[in-house]
Amino acid sequence: MHTHSTAARHFPADFVWGTATAAFQVEGALGEARRAPSIWDTFARVPGKVHQGDTGDRACEHHQRFREDIALMAGLGVGAYRFSVSWPRVQPTGAGPAVQRGLDFYRALADELLDKGIQPFLTLYHWDLPQELEDAGGWPARNTAERFAEYARLVAEALGDRVEHWTTLNEPWCSAFLGYGSGVHAPGRTDPVAALRAAHHLNLGHGLAAQALRATLPSRARLMVSLNPAVVRPRSGSEADREAARRIDALATRVFTGPMLHGRYDEDLIADTAPLTDWSCVRDGDMAAVRQRLDGLGLNYYTPSVVSAGGPVPERHDGHGESPHSPWPGADHVAFHQPPGPRTEMGWAVDPTGLTELLLRFHREAPGTPLYVTENGAAYEDKPDAQGQVHDPERIAYLRDHLDAVRRARAEGADVRGYFLWSLLDNFEWAYGYSRRFGAVHVDFDTQVRTPKSSARWYGRVAGTGRIPDED
């Protein structure tokens, strides 16, 4: 039974209702002079790294079918589309001039969105580093941050007249700690010191790119970054468990928000990681470069983490894939536990209270900065029925409860301006390949036929009315 009033379930008329994708997960169009290899192309070809050897070579063929996909969005009444630019499509080696054919695709994409009344929200980096840059050292190398700023400038010159909303990085935690720590993501390295260096150079890349964007874009442009801060809960009230939660918060969240929002790495993070690194990769001036004015902060949320002090061989149900190597340098003794209650196909606990908690945290920590939920959604085992329809009541329930969590945060004062459903399409789910479906639109990966699920129509009604409907 709902205790809040119907009026309170309304969102303001200017609230942004969007969907999101990432270039590598949906575009396809590798080779044929269309796109150079990224670290994910290389990683997917290593036996055993990606489920059933799946690759992103075809993905959802969004590169060819983007007009069809935008028509789907328009039909649902979605007002914004968050997409990423493929760095190796625009600048194949991560250096030198832009490839105009690559930029032309994103020009056409933005034009089609604008023509259909959909706001483009552009992300510069969603994990697909050009392979040549990885061969030269990757994110643990400072040069990658400098190259990223140059790439940002090239994209801004090409699309600044069309795109108002710009995001530097998506989930740099995954790039650094899953890519270079646990190795479950590309490039698959397992070096805790490299992971910490990568985190710093991602921070630096964000700051240098933000400077390049500000110098290139019209004054109306809005700059953001999208982070996936952890909502970390100690398993008990013991001092040891609270200390475990503090350590994970430092590595999951404050390693990025400290420099980006406050111009510093927190002292406890430096102390926790002192056995691994002296942070000599941080040079004079870096903190000032990283801390750039933001017009919005993107927050991605799926599930909370429950941690304890652990033991000699701690459990690690952290939701980030199986690996003998930890993505938590300096905190690899911390145990992660499965919270009770329902779970998605990813094994992630469904707990919308974490989203309210996260939004209120950053309402307090970044006052005056508009907040956006730039990713939220769930994977379920969606199959067409005998009539070819895809009914996904579990996803509708998930979305309803998480949108209500956003409403609650707003009611407590959080300046949340928009929500982006992950994802528009079923797609290449990184190391899970095509075995996990997050889409509001079902994709038959053999025929590429798109079928909007029940949740797509439900979400379209929410976007059209600005109101969470009462339970069906």
How does pLDDT run along the chain (472 residues), one tens digit per residue? 344 444 457 999 999 999 999 999 999 998 866 799 999 999 999 999 999 999 999 999 999 999 999 999 999 999 999 999 999 999 999 999 999 999 999 999 999 999 999 999 999 999 999 999 999 999 999 999 999 999 999 999 999 999 999 999 999 999 999 999 999 999 999 999 999 999 999 999 999 999 999 999 999 999 999 999 999 999 999 999 999 999 999 999 999 999 999 999 999 999 999 999 999 999 999 999 999 999 999 999 999 999 999 877 788 889 999 999 999 999 999 999 998 899 999 999 999 999 999 999 999 999 999 999 999 999 999 999 999 999 999 999 999 999 999 999 999 999 999 999 999 999 999 999 999 999 999 999 999 999 999 999 999 999 999 999 987 5
**CA-closest candidate to residue 145, choices 253, 327, 285:** 285
Bridge-based pairing of strands 450-452 and 441-443 is antiparallel
61 noted as active-site residue: no
Which residues are CB-contacts of 27 (< 8 A; sequence separation ≥ 6)?
35, 56, 59, 60, 61, 62, 63, 86, 89
- Return d(Cα 15, Cα 212) in angstroms, integer: 28
Which residue of the set 27, 112, 134, 171 is catalytic? 171
With beta carbons less than 8 A apart as the criterion, state whether 195 and 180 touch: yes
Structure tokens at 353: 């209270």
Which residue of the set 27, 112, 134, 375 is catalytic? 375
- Return d(Cα 376, Cα 354) in angstroms, integer: 12
pTM, full prediction: 0.97
- Cα Dmax for the chain: 64
375 noted as active-site residue: yes
